[in-house]
Structure 1
Amino acid sequence: MTIYQKVQAVNHLFNQLDKDLGSFQQSTGLGCVANCGLCCLKPDINATALEFLPLAYHLLLNGETEQWLEQLQNNTEDKLCPVLNKVIAPGSKGFCSDYAHRGLICRLFGFSAMLHKNNTPTLVTCKPIKEQKPEAVAKANAHIASKDNYPLISNYYMQLRSIDESLGEELFPIRIAIEKAIYAVLAYYAYRELPSKDDIV
């Protein structure tokens, strides 16, 4: 499978997830607190390189890979996601500077479930949502408990790994995951013709 095909496969998974999340949120009323972004400010977010392959490919097409690698390597003390907008600019939709190419963890957190002991599914969400949207949280918990359709984190990571086990298996701090994704794209095109901007994703 080429890098482009892997990027397409990851994006296909993300598109399906977006539909699943949209259905879950519509059924429960669950949603982010406006202008929050606290989850993006966590310094210990882990991700796989594969979920950021579309971002890395996008950076390659725009000639931004070297700039990003320099930023990542020169700011090793910074543990926050490099895609993060620390201040919401006027007209901006949120804290993510490249929302279309955010990772799987960014899409799942807040609106999905994970299996605990005895394979019991439990809602994974944040403190602001729990405190400010208790009715939606209660509805989401009831929805999950009823074994109705809901986004289960492990299912999506399993599908991700099936695209490329080596890039989709191991979790890294998010900055390292993005760096590894960029290196994977650069390594693939080291001896190949660079893709056209028409292949932008």
Structure 2
Amino acid sequence: MSIYRKVQAVERLYHNLEKDVATFQKATDLKCKSGCGMCCLKPDIAASPLEFLPLAYHLFKNGQALEWLEKAEKSNSKICINLNSLIAEENGGFCNLYTQRGLICRLFGFSAMLGKDRKPQLVTCKTIKEIFPEAVDKANQHIKERKFTPVISHYYQQLRSIDAELGQNSLPINKAIAQAIRTVLAYYAYRNPRRAG
């Protein structure tokens, strides 16, 4: 499968996830605090390179891949290099390229993980729990009643089915971004960039 086809498959997964998260949020009233972005400041976020293949492809198509690769490889910070320190409403948050964010960024706060008993448990942040406790209670009840809830492992299984190798490894977020960029650059190294697609 070509890089472009993989990017399309990841983007389809993200499109379906966005609808699933919106449905869950509407049913539970869960939402982020406006202008928060605290989850982006977590220093130990891990992701797979496949999650950032759309970002890498976008950067390649816009002639920014090498610049971002250098930035990712030279960064000593454990904070995502895509983080914008200033909130920008048009970006949707603190992410410089919000529409190109990874799967973990899309799931956190509004999904569930399966516990040892295989029952879903809400995964959300301390800020949401403190500011919107009624919504958190409503979400927990929603999950308990076995109503539709985005479950993290289901989306990661779908992601890995696109490319098992790129979707399997969990790396620190900047290393995942760098690996995604290297993958795109390597793929197009001997192909006509004008025909990237």
Q: TM-score normalized by structure 2?
A: 0.96
Q: Per-residue displacement from partner, 1:17-46 (whole Å, max 9, x unpaired)?
A: 000000000000001111110100011000
1:108 aligns to 2:99 (yes or no): no
Q: Is the 8 A contact 2:91 2:97 kept in 1?
A: no
Provide structure 2 residue ranges, at least 5 long, that are not aligned to the other structure: none
Percent same amino acid at aligned positions? 57
- Residue range with higher mean Cα deviation, 45-54 or 187-196: 187-196
One-letter amino acid of the structure 2 residue matched with residue 139 of structure 1: K
Provide structure 1 residue ranges, at least 5 long, that are not aligned to the other structure: none
Q: Quote the offset at 1:89 in angstroms.
A: 4.8
Q: Quote the offset at 1:73 in angstroms.
A: 2.2
* Aligned equivalents of 2:90, 2:51: Cα separation in 1: 27
- Counterpart of 2:171 in structure 1 is 172
- Counterpart of 2:122 in structure 1 is 123
Q: Quote the offset at 1:166 in angstroms.
A: 0.3
* Aligned equivalents of 2:73, 2:45: Cα separation in 1: 18
Which SS does the other structure have where 1:88 is aligned? strand
Q: Is the 8 A contact 1:114 1:122 kept in 2?
A: yes
Which SS does the other structure have where 1:30 is aligned? coil
Q: Quote the offset at 1:93 in angstroms.
A: 3.5
Q: Quote the offset at 1:72 in angstroms.
A: 1.7
Alignment RMSD, CA only? 1.4
With over 3 angstroms needed to count, the CA separation of the structure-2 counterparts of 1:195 and 1:53, relative to structure 1, is farther
Which SS does the other structure have where 1:35 is aligned? coil
One-letter amino acid of the structure 2 residue matched with residue 126 of structure 1: C
1:54 aligns to 2:54 (yes or no): yes
How many residue pairs were aligned? 197
- Structure 1 residues 19-98: aligned runs within 5 Å: 19-75=19-75, 77-89=76-88, 93-98=92-97
* Aligned equivalents of 2:176, 2:129: Cα separation in 1: 29
